[in-house]
Amino acid sequence: MKFVDEYRDPDRVRQIAAAIARSARRPWTIMEVCGGQTHAIVRFGLDELLPDTVTLVHGPGCPVCVTSVETLDKAMAIAARREVIFCSYGDMLRVPGSCQDLQRVKAEGADVRVVYSPLDAVRLARARPEREVVFLAVGFETTAPAHAMAVRQAHNEGLKNFSLLVSHVLVPPAIEAILSAPGCCVQGFLAAGHVCAVMGVAEYAPLARRYHVPIVVTGFEPVDLLEGVRRCVQQLEEGRAEVENAYARAVRPDGNPAARALVSEVFTIVPRKWRGIGEIPASGLGLAPAYAHFDAERRFDVGAISAEESAECQSGLVLQGRKRPHECPAFGTHCTPEHPLGATMVSAEGACAAYYRYRRPRGEGLEAYRG
Q: What is the pLDDT along the chain (371 residues), one digit of tens a residue?
A: 566 788 999 999 999 999 999 999 999 999 999 999 999 999 999 999 999 999 999 999 888 899 999 999 999 999 999 999 999 999 899 999 988 999 999 999 999 999 999 999 999 999 999 999 999 999 999 999 999 999 999 999 999 999 999 999 999 999 999 999 998 999 999 999 999 999 999 999 999 999 999 999 999 999 999 999 999 999 999 999 999 999 999 999 999 999 999 999 999 999 999 988 889 999 999 999 999 999 999 999 999 998 877 778 888 888 888 888 989 999 988 899 888 888 899 888 899 999 999 987 444 444 544 44
The reported pLDDT for the residue numbered 2 is 63
C-alpha to C-alpha distance for 282 and 268, rounded to whole angstroms? 10
- Give 3-state DSSP helix, strand, coil % of the chain, rounded to 5: 45, 20, 35
C-alpha to C-alpha distance for 41 and 21, rounded to whole angstroms? 17
- Are 173 and 17 in contact by the 8 Å Cβ rule? The answer is no
Domains of the chain as residue ranges with CATH: 5-60+172-245 (3.40.50.11750), 64-170+255-299 (3.40.50.11740), 315-370 (no CATH)
C-alpha to C-alpha distance for 310 and 306, rounded to whole angstroms? 13
Q: What is the 3-state secondary structure (H, E, C) of 14-31?
A: HHHHHHHHHHCCCCEEEE
Is the link from the previous residue into 281 a cis peptide, with omega within 30 of 0?
no
* H-only helix segments in 136-204: 144-157, 171-180, 193-199
H/E element holding 166? Answer: strand 162-169
The reported pLDDT for the residue numbered 171 is 96
Q: Give me the amino acid identity at 85.
A: I
The reported pLDDT for the residue numbered 109 is 97
As beta bridge partners, residue 30 has 56, 188
Distance of CA 235 to CAs 30, 203, 321, Å? 12, 19, 21
- Are 211 and 184 in contact by the 8 Å Cβ rule? The answer is no
The three-state secondary structure class of 259 is helix
Give the residue from 196, 311, 315 showing the smallest Cα distance to 259. 196
The pair phi, psi for residue 330, each rounded to 5°, is -85, -10
